[in-house]
Amino acid sequence: MQFTDDSAMTMSLAESLIEKKDLDLVDLAKKFVKSYYQEPQRGYGSGVVTVFQKLRGSKFSDVLLPAKEQFHGQGSFGNGAAMRVAPVALFCYNHYDNLREFAKKQSLITHTHKIGVDGAILQAIAIQQSIHIHPDDQLNVIDFVDELVNKMNFVEEDEEGLDLVEAQPYKSQLNLIKKLLQEEGEENPIDDKVIKNLGNDISGLRSVPTAIFCFLRAQKPIKGIKTDNPFRRAVQYAISLGGDTDTIGSMTGAIAGAFYGEEVISPNILQHLEASTDFKDLADDLFQVATKMEWNSS
């Protein structure tokens, strides 16, 4: 199975963090553009392609300007920044403030609307939380969401004057996740409600919370998904919801993978996935770099 733009950009971000041992936006932009022009068939959206064309045409003189100009200056609120952010969560696995900063800054190369940026921050936080929970411990799904709510309360606190429908839209979606988790049961399918309320499209607001929900719902058996493997169950459930399946499945897999570890991923699946060994090696290298980082305390 070939990977799509999600994995291509994730790979570029991981490679840049490993090589630079920091978030170098010019290097990252160059890697994004190089990867796209080498393999443009990966399923990139038209908006990000325009950004890449402008970046190359300007010789990367201002790597943030093309994204700022998107959609009449409003920027993109899509999930493209969130879908690739997993390497930041691993690189900053023990440094929350840096996690927020890096997740935001890497977003700005392609996404400047606050919905797009905050979606990437939320996804990074969810992955980091999962890294720090031992998979043998019983996961309290409500506590997991409550921790996200508390963190996003500070991320979204400066929403004034941004013409958003809700003042704290991600916090609202997270509270809806709690409600859905408390309603659902194996014999009580709520898929239509999930799609209607959480969403399954390309916007950050209607895909990142969905990925988090898929991970949490898959802690228990799900009717119609016949596997005892919780990682596989989470990804299969995400795909079953339809819509932007590669991205929501990818984000769900990133959170679940951070929680369960590679041991739960079947070798039979990996052998059918393009470049799976390359991604494993990148993750190992990234973690080695991360453990040797000396972060500024300021």
298 domain residue, yes or no:
no
pLDDT of residue 298: 41
197 domain residue, yes or no:
yes
Count of H-run helices and E-run strands, the chain: 15, 0
Phi, psi of 168 (to 5 degrees): -135, 75
297 domain residue, yes or no:
no
Give me the number of domains the chain comprises: 1
pLDDT of residue 163: 62
pLDDT over 70 at 221, yes or no: yes
Residue ranges of alpha helices (H) inside 65-168 are 65-69, 86-91, 96-107, 114-131, 141-155
- Between CA 244 and CA 103 the distance in angstroms is 21
Contact by Cβ (8 Å): 213, 219: no
| CATH code, domain carrying 260 | 1.10.4080.10
- Between CA 226 and CA 114 the distance in angstroms is 38
Q: What is the 3-state secondary structure (H, E, C) of 171-216?
A: HHHHHHHHHHHHHCECCECCHHHHHHHCCCCCECCCCHHHHHHHHH
Express each pLDDT in 263-276 by its tens digit.
999 998 899 999 99
Express each pLDDT in 21-64 by its tens digit.
999 999 999 999 999 999 999 999 999 999 999 999 999 999 99
Considering only 46-55, 194-203, 249-258, 287-296, which range has the smallest mean pLDDT? 287-296
Parent domain of 199: 5-291
Summarize the annotated binding site for Mg(2+) as residue ranges. 4-6, 244, 246-247
124 domain residue, yes or no:
yes
Contact by Cβ (8 Å): 109, 25: yes
Instruction: Give the side-chain half-sphere CA count within 13 A for 241.
Output: 34
Higher pLDDT, 242 or 163: 242
- Between CA 38 and CA 47 the distance in angstroms is 18
Crossing angle (nearest 10°) for helices 245-260 and 230-240: 160
Summarize the annotated binding site as residue ranges. 4-6, 244, 246-247
57 domain residue, yes or no:
yes
296 domain residue, yes or no:
no
Contact by Cβ (8 Å): 45, 70: no
